[in-house]
């Protein structure tokens, strides 16, 4: 019987052959043991091989987020990336949770209920969405939202119906009523506590907004904000036109501000078609759009800089709005308690308002409901009186 042991010379020869084999050029463009490269011909109709998030795979192409024939299915958003537009699955907002032991026989972990949210089974993959057994998880797994006949993204909800128990919203799946006052006639159902735009549906963006006023109270909060999936209206952030749905029947374009940041802007014929703090101009895209008079939708937080919420105005600021304008601008706390009068340094002590058109700066206390006590703010002329604002033209 022959020995199975190799002689030393034979072993050395075989080793040399193995090394040469490793150095020889491959016969294929990919590793035979790995996944085959994506091929358009193998994708379903309407799909193409496209890279996104570090992975190239078959993805459904799209050209809008509003037209049924060219948009994505429910639960997906049409995104522009790398010169292509394609559907990307939404990842609904996650909720804080702690992990507990899974039921017997289940290898996953159970994310315990948080407030009114139901429990979810989570895998320890792709943190922070998965929970590790025996440890506290930062977030529960992203839940799947099932399409319902009413009460979801953008569905109208009467403000008197309340916030979290509004009968017109799909509260069972975390949709609550968003509005900016108890008499808001444009309030709608959406989801709160998002972390990014990916947690929102097509046509929505994750944005910090003041906790109040809201559909239940007209009393404003100061420097209390939370993230909400809001409609992509004028000044919503964007990276391409596909992000910006029509507004009041007019197309919107994704254009850039003076700082190079993208924002949604409706097309227009004249400045009267735009919000009060905007003007109708062509910024180099071949058609007129509404452009902020301040040059940007969100400023640096100084007095009179444009804002969306108190989060844009610094620790000593508040985002305020007048009674007769759509403009929102930063108010800053006076260095001394304000008194009735118009003498800087005596009746109030306010910082200078940056930029044009150099509005009148006053500290009127609670004369206006939306301006907190002892906060300095701009004023624009309104007839024989004045209203809170910095960039709205006199009228």
Contact 365, 328 (CB under 8 A): no
**Residue 289, token pair as written in the block:** 């759009």
316-319 long-range CB contacts below 8 Å, 24 or more apart? Answer: 318/222, 318/223, 318/371, 318/372, 318/375, 319/210
Residues paired with residue 204 on neighbouring β-strands, in sequence order? 231
Q: Which pLDDT does position 13 carry in this prediction? A: 39
What CA dihedral angle connects 271, 274, 277 and 279, to 10 degrees? Answer: -30
* % of the chain with per-residue pLDDT over 90: 67
**Tell me: the pLDDT tens digits for 281-323?**
999 999 999 999 999 999 999 999 999 999 999 999 999 999 9
Residues 6+ apart with CB under 8 A from 102: 108, 109, 110, 121, 133
Per the listing, tokens 């949210």 go with: 117
**Residue 348, token pair as written in the block:** 């109030």
- Give the residue from 329, 253, 333, 321 showing the smallest Cα distance to 294: 329
- Given a cut of 90, whether residue 150 has pLDDT beyond it is yes
* % of the chain with per-residue pLDDT over 70: 77
Could you state, in order of their start, the residue ranges of all structural domains in the chain?
40-89, 94-141, 159-231, 241-292, 310-388
**Tell me: the pLDDT tens digits for 178-237?**
999 999 999 999 999 888 999 999 999 999 999 999 999 999 999 999 999 999 999 999
pTM reported for the whole predicted model: 0.80
């Amino acid at each position: 019987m022959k020995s199975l042991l190799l002689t030393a010379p034979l072993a050395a020869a075989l080793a040399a052959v193995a090394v040469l084999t490793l150095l020889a050029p491959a016969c294929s463009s990919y590793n035979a043991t790995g996944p085959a490269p994506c091929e358009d011909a193998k994708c379903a109709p309407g799909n193409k091989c496209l890279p996104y998030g570090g992975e190239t795979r078959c993805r459904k192409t799209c050209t809008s987020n509003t037209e049924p024939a060219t948009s994505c299915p429910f639960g997906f958003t049409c995104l522009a990336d790398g010169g292509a537009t394609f559907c990307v699955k939404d990842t609904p907002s996650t909720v804080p949770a702690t992990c507990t032991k899974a039921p017997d026989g289940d290898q996953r972990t159970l994310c315990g209920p948080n407030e009114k949210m139901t429990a979810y089974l989570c895998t320890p993959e792709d943190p922070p969405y998965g929970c590790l057994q025996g440890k506290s998880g930062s977030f529960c797994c992203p839940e799947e939202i099932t399409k319902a006949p009413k009460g979801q993204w953008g569905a109208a909800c009467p403000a008197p119906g309340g916030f979290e128990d509004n009968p017109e919203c799909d509260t069972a799946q975390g949709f609550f009523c968003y509005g900016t006052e108890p008499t808001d006639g444009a309030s709608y159902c959406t989801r709160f506590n998002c972390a990014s735009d990916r947690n929102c549906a097509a046509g929505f963006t994750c944005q910090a907004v003041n906790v109040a006023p809201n559909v239940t109270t007209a009393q404003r909060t100061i420097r209390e904000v939370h993230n909400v999936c809001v409609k992509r209206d004028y000044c919503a952030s964007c990276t391409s036109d596909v992000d910006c749905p029509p507004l009041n029947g007019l197309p919107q374009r994704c254009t850039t501000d003076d700082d190079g940041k993208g924002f949604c802007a409706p097309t227009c014929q004249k400045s009267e078609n735009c919000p009060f703090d905007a003007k109708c101009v062509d910024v180099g895209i071949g058609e007129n759009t509404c452009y902020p008079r301040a040059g940007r939708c969100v400023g640096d937080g100084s007095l009179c800089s444009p804002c969306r919420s108190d989060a844009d105005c610094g620790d000593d600021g508040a985002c305020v709005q007048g009674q007769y304008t759509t403009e929102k601008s930063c108010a800053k706390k006076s260095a001394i308690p304000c008194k009735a009068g118009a003498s800087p340094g005596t009746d109030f002590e306010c910082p200078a308002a940056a930029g044009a058109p150099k509005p009148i700066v006053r500290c009127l206390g609670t004369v206006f409901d939306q301006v907190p006590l002892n906060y300095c703010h701009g004023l624009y002329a309104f007839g024989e009186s004045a209203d809170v604002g910095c960039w709205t033209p006199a009228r």
